[in-house]
Structure 1
């Protein structure tokens, strides 16, 4: 008899919550239902604002966490309508608003807004939360956490597979298919800068299918300047977020290059996202037989085209080609991590995060 878990994901794109209800039977897993709930404009604006210092942050963050828990609960309700029956636990990652591992005092921190006790009250289901801080405490980056799941779901013996999740930030998993360890790290910006620019100039939350970017021309000087950011030259393990790649970062580059057409800037940001992924893949796993793309970026046709152009010898495919649609992968990964926590199994890979060792991740809030 299998166990059902719910995984919830609200990522750095800050567009809403994806939830999946997953049945696990031994090592076999099947997504039984998927639900999405978009953030309303005020909620999204507040979550974005809390990524940078501001007035009365503690009060605002606490209320934003409560609101997020209510949104999570709505997604859980929708999933349970579709698939009635017992759920062992909900794994709720929270919304990252600061990510500074290893900095300041040698340990640093990663901070996700969440109200798991409230979520347990609202749903009557046990909640696994706080999935990153133990890895940070052990000297790791606390990110990315999905490579262990990618290995379990997409790994193949004797086949070098890479998986890139393109949310607000792009994170790459390298599955060499031999005796070498799995590796994974954040490449750099994914959708975050493109979404910001599209909202600023078109009033739209994202560039649907990359159509706006497709009509622009890459600005070589802007692209070269962006690629000189020190983050891209850092060796793994490494992780990043909106702390590093944000509107002020982009504005600083543009201030030195006035007069660029907004559509050309969008095309350049799309090329930047594709280029850093392709460069990292060629650098770290040149024998890759396929690159599987998940996250919202997989729905950006222009971005997928640019990725394929940058990797002419490597097929670039949606994760749906291997049985898991791109908007379900991260939520399924957190369901998998929640199950690992309840079973006392490690959910992290020290080779990925740089921690002193693999750790059981998460804190349990009983039903």
Structure 2
């Protein structure tokens, strides 16, 4: 072998090593975030978009230094488990799980990959974290829990004569069961009683709402994913039968509820994204306490109020962050 050939081989070897090191450094600089949601509807979509917006603002860009995956379970818990297994197999730097069923599926599948839940009403009741303190595990996140007393005060403002509150919900969703349990404890303080209607699937929402006709003075909905994904079916019953609809999901006001005192879900997503950033930068999820929403707003829909036979006070209208006409 000539001296020239030896030098050429050495140069080629050095170039290969340099390229390998360069590609290795590039691979290390790319962060992977996998997002799973139980269903697609405006509130949960806003959470997803808020997370991505926060990552983009911090300099993470898809195709450059961010691998971003998103899948919806389309309301099916079995599909949520499949998505969780797929994402866990991909070994991302973080899994963002939107809504309780998707978070439960992810938490059941891994004790190592960081999981950041969002739009979960009660992570303790949902068995995602042992308490509202830092979990010491791979799980943390942001809750959309609301103070139910203020929700009942809103109902009394809008329908002062109300005695019977109807609630359509999925009895298989831990969030909704927790809300029903909590409501039963406080309703007597507001001279109200609860009438329940089960909607185990999105297609059941309309029939569940119709079962409340003649039995309730107002229908209240929490952030139950089955109900929110099929909210138009509830609105039809409210409009046809003059039953006021009060929601806790502000996006539902745009779709036909009279009012909601609730979370801005884009802001909730951005808040979730800030936790994701902390974890991508090396912080341990188990050291981060679960958070609640930083932004509660009142939305009102004047057209819906008219269709459902309610006159809103000017004081209430003036206090709204957004008015839909």
**Structure in which a larger fraction of residues adopt helix:** 2
Give the structure-1-normalised TM-score: 0.31
- Which entry has the higher C-alpha Rg, 1 or 2? 2
